Every structure is written in structure tokens, then in C-alpha cells.
Amino acid sequence: MTGSLAALLAGTAARRPGHRALIRGSAHLTYGRLWERARRYAAVLHASGVRPGDAVALVLADDEQFPLVYFGVQAAGAVAVPLNGTASVSEIAHVLTDADVRFLVCASSLRARAGAAAEGLGTRVSTVAELERAAAHTRPEDAFVARRGDDPAVVFYTSGTTGAPKGVVLTQRNILRNVTTMAVTPYAFRSDDVLLGGLPLAHGFGQICSMLTAFEAGITLVMMERFSGKEALALAAEHRCTVFMGVPTMYLKLLDAVADGGPVPRFDRVYSGGSPLPVPTFHDVRRVFQCPVYEGYGMTETSTSLTYNHPGVPCRPGTVGVPIDDGVTVGVARPNADSVELLPVGEVGEIVVRGETVMAGYLGRPDLTAEVIRDGWFHTGDLGTLDADGYLTVVGRKKELILRGGYNVYPREVEEVLAEHPAVAHVAVVGVPHPVLGEEVWAVVVPTRSQEATCDLAEEIVDWGRQRLSRHKCPRHVEFARTLPLGASGKVLKRELVSTLGPVAASRSATESGAAVFRATGETLGGPVGGVPGPG
């Protein structure tokens, strides 16, 4: 694989200069204009002392400025280090130090925070407005700086669930291999497609799967600075969007917006990723939107997508499909073994991957890199199974596996069963410390809007589980919440649920008989709680 991300946009601009690349409110940019402005930004960066290989941090909103600055960085031969706009001063400062960032571009509204983070570090800070004013009086670069396939293109920082965030180094080859494959299959983009983009661009799903694949294919990307179901439906109707990509929580919001009277989107196909899509939600989306729903799986360390259900192969709800191409090999290995021992069809093990999309490593951390890349395989930390046809099913994270009384409980399996209950809109299952069993199974349920959270409903949900699950898998405790805590990429933050539920469990008697104990919480679980106490 040759070329670079800058070459990707340059090629599309040469091929479709007058076609709209992106729409954001009243801003409409063609590919020719987008590439010209990106080269102006590259010239300003060069004049500011940025050299090929330097790290440039982006603390931006999800608007048209993100791709302009992003491709300006790529055209300058530098390395993009995107951060979420909600990052704190300490989080930004950690990244600036860890990645040796020379230049930071931020939204004007984030200038004070970025400046405080950069103080004393030698990092130059510029707002987008300042960069744009300089670019208006600067001749665009005639060409982009050439980069090799193994040169870093982007450094993504993990969420830091097990310590300080780590920098995931993705090379030009890593990302290009994924993007050029995904644009053809599973996304199967056509020249007249319009993609509704509601994913955060600082994260891999939004940046690589949405923005970069759209620009590789030369289609139009409709941007949203902040996702809402109501606005998404309005934009889809206004711009006749044909494709949507989102995480499961986004689909729940779209379904709610339709139920509130919003226009049913006329999508040709939709794609889900980021976290498992509950099978009932899959069927609801397909029924309401009247279009195919394709679910996939991947992670930042593998340049996002690894497997997908996609056009041309049978779609199997509950699975995340098959490898995206022959260059990606997915296996299921015995967990915690010294070497990779691939397991037979149907056995649960750790999902392992090899291929050109696997990261170069964690920035400056060869020790951590060696822990996850062993025998040529990247160890994902996820548990799953492969069937005889190569379809992958993800059953949960290794660290989220619940060990109750010596029995393994996979949260995804329990969540799928509880999600079938007609009163359950969203559910997360976690293991909470227990003095006798090690861990106990707790379910946190967001009821449907028409359903009141009561002790009777909690009992009903537990009974539903008892009838469909082995005894050790069935939740003994149900908590209700209006929403679940979500990260910036839309994933449920289960560590926050465990952190909140732990003290609740500890306050209850360790000698309880095992009967279910319930409480309805009035806020997002993880914040203030209170409500209806139940028996026990």
C-alpha cells in the first residue's frame, strides 16, 4: 500500500473538484475548495515552524474546520493528534507532553483551556480563526509533503480506563488499507451517496469510517456538531441522505425521534459499530427505516473496522460479520495463554487479529505494545466466538467478564435476553463485588418512555431472565435509570456503573437470601440516585 492521507484527498479533488465534499449548516465545500484551503493551512503551518513528522494537536468542534485543519496537517507531512473538545486542561497537557506536540490548533471557544494546558510546555497555540486569517493571505502549497507507508499519520489517545491515556500510533498504511477497503465493502459507496455524519471526528469511527471513507469515495458528508435524533431526521430529509453510521445509542435516539412524529429517514442502508447493537434494536431499525442494517466490529488499535455484515453476504443479527478483506485475519484464542492457541469453532476465547491495519504500537511504550502484540497477533481484550462460516460474535470485554460463584457470565448474552423485554429500552449488565460469590450480576435498565420504573417491573424483568437464562447468569438486582453514562464515542461507561453500584451493594446485607433487590434511580446512574426502594 503506497500513498498517504493527503494523497487521498488530492486524488478525489482532482477527480471530482466540483462535487460537494461536505455540508455543515450554510457551509458547503466542494472537493476542489476543500483541498485548496487545506493546502493554505499547510503553508501556514510550515511558516509557523511545523516540519514533517511533527505532532500537531487538534482540539476542535465537529464542524467544517475539522477536515480543513486535519488535511492541512496531513499536507504539511505532520502527524495529527486529535482530542475531544471536552478534554480537560490536565488531559490536554498529558497529551501535549506525551506526544511532544509542537503546535496546537483549537476552536476559539477552547482557547483558554488549550492555552492553560500548553503553558510552559513550548507548544504553540493557534485558534482556527487565527489560522484562517493567516491562510487568507498565504499562497497554498503547490503539493503535499510525501510520506512513506510506515510513517505515522495519526495518534489517537485511548480513554485511559486503566491509567493514563495511551497514544495509539496509526501509520499511513494502516489507515489507507482500512479506508480503501471499507469504501468499497462494506459501505459500497456510490457516486451519488450522501452520508449523514453524527459521529465525533476526534474518534476513529467518525474520523476513519465516516470522514475518510467518504472522502476516498468522493461522496458528500453532512456534518452535525452534536448529535440529536430530531436534528438528524431533519438533515436526512433536507439533504436526502442515503447512508448513516452510528453507535447503538444514536439508533435509539433516532427511533425516539420518529416516535415523536419526526420524518422517517429514507436511508438506503445504515451501519452500526462502537458497541454491540441489541438484536431487538436491530429489528426495530430495519422495520422503521425499511432498509438493511449492517453491524461491524473494530477498535482504534486496528484502524477501526475488522469485521462487518455487509451487502453481498447473508446478514446475521447478533454477529458482527466476517473479516472486511483477505488482508485481515481474525481468530479466537485461549485467554491468558503464554502463546496464541486458536480455539475451535464455537468456543469462547479472546479475539485476536493480524494484518496491515494493526497499529504500529503505543507511543513511547514498547512494554505495553509487547503486552498486546504477541506472536504476530494483536490481542483485543474482547471475548468472542467464530462460527463455521467465519462470522464473529462478541460476548464482552475480558475485563467485564463476570465471575459469579466460579461461573463465567458474559454480559452481552444477558443484555440480549433482557433487551427482548418490551419495557426495556436500553440495558447494561455489570458485575458488582460480592463478599461470598466474588461478583453478583446487576442489570441497569432504561425503561421505555411509556413505562414507569417500579418494583413490580423490576421483578418482572428478573422473572423474564429466570425463564430464559441459566440460574447463575440471571441478574439478582435491577436498577433503573433515565439514561446510562456514555463516553464521547457513545459507548456505555460500565466502569462508572460498577463504581456507583459498588457502594450500593456494600451497604446491603451480605446475608441477603438471594431474592432480588431493586431501586429506581431518578438520574443518569453514576450521578445522584434515589427513588423507589424495593423489598429486601
pLDDT tens-digit readout, 312-355: 889 999 999 999 998 899 999 999 888 899 999 999 999 999 99
Q: Which CA distances in Å does 301 have to 233, 235, 372?
A: 32, 32, 10
CB-neighbour burial class of residue 162 (10 A; exposed 0-12, middle 13-18, buried 19+): exposed
Q: How many residues does the chain have?
A: 536
Q: Which CATH architecture has domain 1-170?
A: 3-Layer(aba) Sandwich (3.40)
The whole-model pTM stands at: 0.88
Question: Concatenated DSSP letters for 322-391?
Answer: EESSTTEEEEEE-TT-SS--BPPTT--EEEEEEETTS-SEETT-HHHHHHHEETTEEEEEEEEEE-TT--
Choose the weakest-confidence range: 62-76, 99-113, 429-443: 429-443
Rounded mean pLDDT, 483-503: 86
Query: Has residue 517 got a pLDDT over 60?
Result: no
Compute how many other C-beta atoms are within 10 angstroms of the C-beta atom of residue 79.
26
b/e sequence 479-507, b meaning 16+ C-beta within 10 Å: bbbeebbbbebbbbbbbbbbebbeebbee
SS3 call for 98: helix
The single residue listed with the C-alpha cell 510506515 is 150
Q: What is the pLDDT of residue 511?
A: 37
Answer whether 438's CB lies under 8 Å from 404's CB: yes
Higher pLDDT: 435 or 294? It is 294
Question: Concatenated DSSP letters for 158-187?
Answer: P--TTSS--EEEEEHHHHHHHHHHHHHTTS
221 confidence band (pLDDT: 50, 70, 90): very high
Here the cell at position 250 is: 444514536
Higher pLDDT: 502 or 427? It is 427
Rounded mean pLDDT, 424-435: 92
In sequence order, the 6+-apart residues with CB closer than 8 A to the CB of 331 are 340, 342, 351, 352, 353, 377, 386
Rounded mean pLDDT, 214-236: 96
Query: Has residue 510 got a pLDDT over 60?
Result: no
Return the domain boundaries, the chain.
Answer: 1-170, 401-533
Choose the weakest-confidence range: 132-136, 495-499, 504-508: 504-508
508 confidence band (pLDDT: 50, 70, 90): low
Compute how many other C-beta atoms are within 10 angstroms of the C-beta atom of residue 224.
18
Query: Has residue 509 got a pLDDT over 80?
Result: no
Strands 220-223 and 194-197: parallel
Angle, helices 5-15/172-184, rounded to nearest 10 degrees: 40
Which residues are 59's β-sheet partners? 83, 106
Answer whether 349's CB lies under 8 Å from 334's CB: yes
> Apex CA 246: angle with CA 91 and CA 380, to 5°?
60
Q: What is the pLDDT of residue 532?
A: 28
Answer whether 171's CB lies under 8 Å from 150's CB: yes
CATH superfamily of 401-533: ANL, C-terminal domain (3.30.300.30)
Q: Which CA distances in Å does 475 have to 364, 406, 478, 533?
A: 42, 16, 7, 17
> Apex CA 156: angle with CA 163 and CA 201, to 5°?
125
Which residues are 196's β-sheet partners? 222, 244
Query: Has residue 379 got a pLDDT over 80?
Result: yes
Here the cell at position 46 is: 510550515
Q: What is the pLDDT of residue 344?
A: 96
163 confidence band (pLDDT: 50, 70, 90): low
Share of the chain residues as helix, strand and coil, in percent rounded to the nearest 5: 35, 25, 40
Q: What is the pLDDT of residues 99-131, one digit of tens each?
A: 999 999 999 999 999 999 999 999 999 999 999
Question: Concatenated DSSP letters for 222-291?
Answer: EE-SS--HHHHHHHHHHTT--EEEE-HHHHHHHHHHHHTTPPPP--SEEEE-SS---HHHHHHHHHHH-S
Distance CA 410, CA 398 (A): 9
Query: Has residue 465 got a pLDDT over 60?
Result: yes
* Share of residues in the chain with pLDDT > 70 (%): 93
User: Which DSSP helix (H) or strand (E) runs through 520?
Assistant: strand 517-521
Distance CA 297, CA 135 (A): 39
Is the preceding omega at residue 186 within 30 degrees of 0, hence cis? yes
Rounded mean pLDDT, 135-142: 95
418 confidence band (pLDDT: 50, 70, 90): very high
Question: Concatenated DSSP letters for 109-144?
Answer: GGHHHHHHHHTTTT-EEEEHHHHHHHHHTSPPPSSP
Here the cell at position 35 is: 483541498
